[in-house]
Structure 1
Amino acid sequence: MGNNSLIVKREYNASIEKVWDAITNIEKMKSWYMPELKNFLPVVGFQTEFSMTHEGKVFPHIWKVTEVIPKEKISYEWRYKGYPGNSLVTFDLQSEGNKTNLTLTHSGLETFQPEKYPELDRKQFEEGWNSLLNDLLVKFLESNSD
């Protein structure tokens, strides 16, 4: 995949266990991340499909888990059925006392041919990940505090 990876870093006032649970537990993921998710398991080889509609267009997502290090790292392929390209999403977690640093890397975005499919442009992903990680996940973790 190309070197043009999208990287978002964020510190959360939550334990690494809590952040890990938020990014790997299906019910919690549906709350803040992808309400359309049908199923998800943090197990290498697990694959799931679900559809989202953006500006009237349906995008059938296919995710396949490629790496799992519990409470540290999860990666999955992210592609769209019927569209070119294959990307990789990686969540890296690091504990800092009672806080957690999360680094999200989304690589391979250029393989989606954004010149042909503007809905799959890097800017769309930047806006999406920033909203998810800097707003929705923050609110989710705060509202589900111990």
Structure 2
Amino acid sequence: MKSISLDFHFKSPIEKVWFALTDSDTLSKWMMFKENNFKPVVGHKFQLRMEPTGGWNGVVEGEVLEVDEPHRLSYTWVSLGERNTVTWTLKQHEDGTTHVHLDQTGISSEQAVNGAKYGWQAMAKQLEGVLAEL
């Protein structure tokens, strides 16, 4: 199995970044999934939904595995027959900015790795804009 690790730096305090990663309404503003029922509660099962595209129903299903507010969030990411684990690790710097490390594990192919990298990088740019408005 393959995995990705990405690092992002946001000019926002850790509490704002945590809120953007865990609040259902805010998630829909920066993720490509416009509908979701996410809650940062261990064991909560959720769906992320977008318009179906070319053979994909547009649904990711997940279950929250770990919540350590505001430092760590982990959940399963199940779509197209793949079951991955997504883990966000947040660290606030002395200047008030936040470093975010993202791991996604359990990816089956290089094509899926490339798609995940592209998707997370695009969504991180959207997240930066949303954080500026919070």
- 1:26-49 per-residue CA deviation (whole Å, 9 max, x = no partner) reads 111111114433311101000012
Q: Counterpart of 1:140?
A: 130
Structure 1 64/34 Cα, relative in aligned 2: closer, same or farther at 3 Å?
farther
> 1: CA distance between counterparts of 2:115 and 2:130?
22
Q: Deviations over 1:57-111 (max 9, x none)?
A: 324311100001010000000002xx4331000010001020100001011111x
Residue-by-residue CA offset, 1:5-42 (whole Å, 9 max, x unaligned): 21110111100000000000111111111443331110
- RMSD, matched Cα: 1.8
Over 6 Å off, 4+ runs: none
Matched residues, percent identical?
Answer: 27
User: What TM-score comes out, normalization by structure 1 length?
Assistant: 0.82
- What TM-score results when the alignment is normalised by the length of structure 2? 0.89
**Which structure 2 segments of 5+ residues have no match?**
none
What is the count of residue pairs matched by the alignment? 132
Whether the aligned pair in 1 keeps the contact of 2:23 and 2:38 (CA below 8 Å) is: yes
Which residue number in structure 1 is paired with residue 73 of structure 2?
74
| Counterpart mapping for 1:94-109 below 5 A | 94-97=91-94, 98-109=96-107
The answer on whether the counterparts of 2:33 and 2:48 sit within 8 Å (CA) in structure 1 is no
CA radius of gyration, larger in? 1
Q: How does 1:1-146 map to 2 (within 5 A)?
A: 2=1, 4-52=2-50, 53-55=52-54, 57-80=56-79, 83-97=80-94, 98-110=96-108, 114=109, 121-133=112-124, 135-144=125-134
Gap regions ≥5 residues in structure 1: none
SS of 1:93 mapped into structure 2:
strand
